[in-house]
A and B are shown apart, each in its own frame.
Chain A
Amino acid sequence: MYEKTLTQLAAALKSGEFSSRELTAHYLQRIEKADGKLNSFISVTAEQALKHAEIADNARAAGTAGPLAGIPLALKDIFCTRDVKTSCGSKMLDNFIAPYNATVVEKLNAAGTISLGKTNMDEFAMGSSNENSYYGPVKNPWDLTAVPGGSSGGSAAAVAAGLIPAAMGTDTGGSIRQPAAFCGITGLKPTYGRVSRFGIIAYASSLDQAGPMARSAEDCAHLLGVIAGHDGRDSTSVTRGVPDYVENLNAPLSGLKIGLPKEYFGDGLDPDVEKAVREAVKVYESLGATVREVSLPHTHYAIPAYYVIAPAEASSNLSRYDGVRFGYRCDNPSDLIDLYTRSRAEGFGEEVKRRILIGTHTLSEGFFDAYYTKAQKVRRLIRQDFLDAFEDVDVLMGPASPTPAFDLGAKKDPVSMYLQDIYTIAVNLAGIPGISVPAGFSNGRPVGLQILGTHFAEAQLLNVAHQFQQATDWHLQRPAFAEEYA
């Protein structure tokens, strides 16, 4: 069953080829067998999943089941799930049982999908390798010595290994697209505001956005249709209507104007990655698209701007973890300041502390204008780069990451880790949507093609990605791990 895409599984459930209970049990078994090696799950909610699968089967029998009813999924452990531990990959929230569901979870539940558990992630979504989790690193199923990418590394690895047909991730600077690329799956970061952030534990509020990670663009289209839409509980959620993302998948690409940002093909780009991406672009040309080079002149400033804005927001967002109302509290605090400083020092990991300190410093008196205000101005220039480019082309294409998955422990220096996100980070600053699709391999490790569109162009991105997946089979390739261990 695990060989099937989510779309195929939905069809099989509908036709009665197997029940949701059987399907759920199948994936639970695979998780049970394989996840000891991958460490892609923080919590597995088997009992609840089987119960919900039965409800979905009953709904199916009663004729009330929706198209995705009974499909097993996993949720990055950043989505609040009622009565289930929601840790955000942190010791700080190791004891936090969420008292409510994120809007995304509510919508998925309403669609009848079955959550099998919560996936591993970099602590508070801060990281590009999943090595920053309190629950230990996740391994890449294509090569257990490689990282799966981050911060949605657990979701990516689990989908790639066939432990789950699809999973939800979040993307603040590339955290869906980069692990999707590293693990050879399809991952979509929607336009900022397209999916409600309510109940998603905040990292950087003006950048965070949730999206689907699955085997194919078609799978993502089905899932985005479920989770997108306005939510009165999130002020930044947009009221614009949700199109039918599936309906548009087969639109022909003839006349599609593709832009290749020259800054995305410069120094530091792995030659194999570049080759795979250029091959992919050729496929598009064969489908009738035209290709031209474009420029995003402020690309170079995206990482510096991001590492002011994101830590600044994070430093404030993470102040609520103070050991008073929920979460970790240090033993025997001697006074209030001891309670605060020790709970936070013991509850947060190194990278989280670094970002809190950077954010606190750059917002503080004497530095605010030079850092924060400056970064916000640069943010406007970066957004303008994209808006200008989309005057001339329909979509932009390039690599999702300058290299394929690197080895676990390879990047010790935080800055060299940050530079990994060179192609993904500007997208969050601009708020536009992006998708990563499998486009080949470099030394046995997957390469991701990133496709970017203008605000709310998800339907077009999914169409463009789907057409590529109709013409190629990179997305159907499976790591040997999927068969060997599970």
Chain B
Amino acid sequence: MALEESHVRRAAHLARLAVSDDQASGFVEDLSRILDMVDQLQSLDTEGVKPLAHPLDATQRLRADEVTESNQRDTFQRCAPAVENGLYLVPRVVE
């Protein structure tokens, strides 16, 4: 499956990564090589094989519905780039 620059642009947009024109061509080249390597998968017959998402066949444990966390806002917001009145600030979001 050939990779085109439009694919890289689209992935960069979805992943919110700024990519300059220069970088884009480099990524097309690198990613193409990686995908060529990945494409070896297509030669393998996996008919009837169930996908495996986790290496162990374990099931989800459930947590009791208890409030175990207390307010740590000040601690958590010490590493925040911009806060005011306890809110995280971002450039205005237009709805």
Contacts and interface: CB of A to CB of B under 8 A. Distances in A.
Interface of A: 95-97, 99, 191-193, 206-207, 232, 235-236, 238-239, 298, 300-301, 303-305, 307-308, 315, 319, 322-327, 329, 333-342, 344-345, 348, 353-354, 356-358, 360-362, 364, 367, 370-371, 373-381, 383, 413-415, 418, 428-432, 455
Nearest to B50: A380
B55 A431 contact: yes
Interface in B18-35: 18-19, 27, 30-31, 33-35
Nearest to A194: B56
Interface residues of B, number: 52
Interface string B8-51: 10111011111100000001001101110111111010100111
B1 interface: yes
Contact of B17 (A298, A335, A341): A341
B90 to A, nearest CB: 6
Contacts of B37: 303-304, 307, 415, 418
Nearest to A332: B91
B46 A381 contact: yes
Contacts of A95: 79
Given A307-B37, A358-B34, A380 B3 contact: no
Nearest to A307: B38
Closest 10 A/B residue pairs (Cβ): A431-B55, A376-B51, A345-B18, A329-B81, A380-B52, A341-B18, A340-B16, A377-B46, A360-B11, A377-B49
A354 B44 CA distance: 25
A191 to B, nearest CB: 8
Given A304-B38, A371-B38, A345 B55 contact: no
Contacts of A193: 55-56, 58
A354 B58 contact: no
Nearest to A328: B81
Contact of A192 (B30, B39, B56, B92): B56
A429 B53 CA distance: 9
**A334, A353, A375, A430 — which one has the most chain B CB atoms within 10 A of its CB?**
A353
18 contacts: A193-B55, A206-B54, A232-B61, A239-B61, A301-B40, A304-B37, A319-B16, A339-B91, A345-B18, A356-B17, A357-B11, A357-B17, A357-B27, A361-B31, A381-B46, A415-B34, A415-B37, A455-B56
A99 B8 contact: no
Nearest to B80: A325
Contacts of A207: 55
A430 B14 CA distance: 30
B88 to A, nearest CB: 6
Contact of B93 (A336, A361, A373, A428): A336
Contact of A414 (B11, B33, B49, B88): B33
Contact of A96 (B17, B39, B79, B93): B79
B11 A334 contact: no
A324 B52 contact: no
Contacts of A305: 41
A333 B91 contact: yes
Contacts of A428: 55
Contacts of B33: 413-415
B79 A97 contact: yes
B44 A301 contact: yes
Nearest to A367: B1
Given A95-B79, A345-B18, A361-B7, A325 B49 contact: no
Interface string B51-95: 111111010110100000000100110111110000010111100
Given A232-B63, A236-B58, A414-B34, A304 B16 contact: no
Given A357-B12, A380-B50, 9 more contacts: A99-B72, A236-B54, A238-B56, A327-B79, A354-B30, A357-B27, A358-B31, A371-B38, A428-B55
A357 B81 CA distance: 25
A356 B39 CA distance: 18
Nearest to B47: A377
Nearest to B37: A415
A99 B14 contact: no
Contact of B50 (A325, A370, A377, A430): A377
Contacts of A340: 16
Contact of A335 (B19, B38, B91): B91
Given A99-B78, A333-B91, A377 B8 contact: no
Given A334-B91, A357-B27, A414-B34, A308 B56 contact: no
B90 A304 contact: no
